[in-house]
Amino acid sequence: MPAPDDSARPAAGHASGAPADPFGWTGAEARRRERAGLVRTLRPRAADSPLVDLASNDYLGLARHPAVTAAAADAALRWGAGATGSRLVTGSTTLHAELEAELAGFCGFEAALVLSSGYAANLAALTALTAPGSLIVSDAGNHASIIDGCRLARAETLVVPHADPAAVRETLDAHPGRRALVVTDGVFSVDGDAAPLDELAEVCRTRGAALVVDDAHGLGVLGDGGRGAPAAAGIAGAGGVVATVTLSKSLGSQGGAVLGPARVIEHLVNAARTFIFDTGLAPAAVGGARESLRLLRREPGRAARAREVALTLYERLTGAGLSAVRPDAAVVSVRAASAEAAVRWAADCRAAGLAVGCFRPPSVTDGVSRIRLTARADLTDRQLDAAVGTIIATAAPVGR
């Protein structure tokens, strides 16, 4: 029988006259999380961790690339440790402007705007490109930052089934004449599948709707040399298409950006609250991301290698009887029997020298817990072999 839920009761001490404990309810919340196997704890990583990393989002192995860390350090020395103000006051440097121009050019968009995170970029696009009375059509598998952007926007949000352009078309057709924006992850963060962007773009184009693609997991991995999911689908730079990206995954830095037509970017500069009221991105992060972009141009094979590593992981793990979705980019998630099994599986991998991610509710909206592997372009074949062996060897005891 489940333990009684005391989280809604008045704080202890109320009736006795003693002052109420304003955070007394956290105990009940913690017990509930524990019963469900959903406790999360921080595990600070040592700089010299010996673990093989299949857990981070450093898909191209650039976070510690000497050219990237040197560029970040140079930028801090030249411009300062912080941006010193919001972008519209003192926080825009010529380095920010250069990164924006290079990012837009690389991904095939007219213009770009750098913000302090991919999260802030999604909030900016969703709130500033809609108005009361607008319609947002959002894929059921979209990332939490998109969900929060929809909540913040003063528009009506309709959630459609995952990767279903026909459902998007029907939803738009049921609301003719409304200003509409369709939003999707380019590559979904849980299962690593790519959105049907060409079909979605056509549905949007023929109905006058904007398409916003969150390409956090596509930039650096999909498309020619890593130009991203919109470029891979041939829709980058189209008039009705906007992309958001993070600089913190394949580019190994920190920060985010919105990419799109120049008039849309100009509008965001004037209207996006997470741009206007936030301090500009730190120069070190800007310099690091710009160097990573330049590296991608010099070494275009990195993107293909990350995809190849992901496919190898998928083929060998499913070949051993494990369950995963065929990856389109660098994320491979392997299903676990329960949240507890996923936690134990990840812990066993860790004990064997392999860091893997562990996704449980609420990070997975379908309730299926997974261990999540990120393919890295800089993994050697030997590391890959050892990782596959560890994941398979630790799978059986926790059930599949």
DSSP secondary structure letters along 284-340: HHHHHHHHHHHHHHH-THHHHHHHHHHHHHHHHHHHTT--BPPPSSSEEEEE-SSHH
Nearest 5 degrees, angle CA 192-CA 193-CA 195?
130
The binding track of 169-198 with respect to ligand PMP, each residue x by CB under 6 A or -, is ----------------x---x---------
Give me the least distance between CB of 232 and ligand PMP, in Å please: 16
Q: How many residues can be counted in the chain? A: 400
Asked if residue 117 binds ligand PMP (CB under 6 A), the reply is: yes
Q: Are 333 and 106 in contact (CB under 8 A)?
A: no
- Segments in the chain forming alpha helices (H): 25-35, 66-79, 94-107, 118-128, 144-152, 165-173, 197-207, 229-232, 262-271, 273-276, 283-298, 301-319, 339-351, 381-398
- The span from the CA of 163 to the CA of 328, in Å, is 13
Radius of gyration from C-alpha coordinates of the chain: 22
Asked if residue 256 binds ligand PMP (CB under 6 A), the reply is: yes
Asked if residue 127 binds ligand PMP (CB under 6 A), the reply is: no
- Exposed e or buried b for every residue in 62-90, given b needs 16+ CB within 10 A? bbebeebbebbebbbeebeeebeebbeee
Q: Find the part of the chain contacting ligand PMP (CB under 6 A) among 94-102, 112-120, 335-343, 392-400.
A: 112-120
Asked if residue 278 binds ligand PMP (CB under 6 A), the reply is: no
Asked if residue 216 binds ligand PMP (CB under 6 A), the reply is: yes
Give me the least distance between CB of 122 and ligand PMP, in Å please: 6
Q: Find the part of the chain contacting ligand PMP (CB under 6 A) among 6-14, 115-123, 170-178, 350-358.
A: 115-123
**Nearer to ligand PMP (CB atom), residue 195 or residue 395:** 195
3 state DSSP class of 372: strand
Chosen residue from 92, 127, 246, 274 binding ligand PMP by CB under 6 A: 246
Asked if residue 253 binds ligand PMP (CB under 6 A), the reply is: no
Size of the site for ligand PMP (CB under 6 A): 14
**Nearer to ligand PMP (CB atom), residue 119 or residue 275:** 119
- The span from the CA of 91 to the CA of 112, in Å, is 16
**Nearer to ligand PMP (CB atom), residue 375 or residue 398:** 375
Chosen residue from 61, 91, 108, 118 binding ligand PMP by CB under 6 A: 118
Which DSSP state fits 8?
A: T
**Nearer to ligand PMP (CB atom), residue 292 or residue 390:** 292
Q: Find the part of the chain contacting ligand PMP (CB under 6 A) among 21-29, 76-84, 111-119, 132-140.
A: 111-119
Chosen residue from 145, 157, 312, 374 binding ligand PMP by CB under 6 A: 145
Asked if residue 162 binds ligand PMP (CB under 6 A), the reply is: no
Classify 183 in phi/psi space as left (phi over 0), alpha (psi -120 to 50) or beta.
beta
Give me the least distance between CB of 235 and ligand PMP, in Å please: 18
Give me the least distance between CB of 215 and ligand PMP, in Å please: 8
Q: Find the part of the chain contacting ligand PMP (CB under 6 A) among 176-184, 210-218, 308-316, 360-368.
A: 210-218
Burial class (CB in 10 A: 0-12, 13-18, 19+), 156: middle
Amino acid in the structure at residue 6: D
Asked if residue 143 binds ligand PMP (CB under 6 A), the reply is: yes
For binding to ligand PMP (CB under 6 A), which residues are involved?
A: 117-119, 122, 143, 145, 185, 189, 214, 216-217, 246, 248, 256
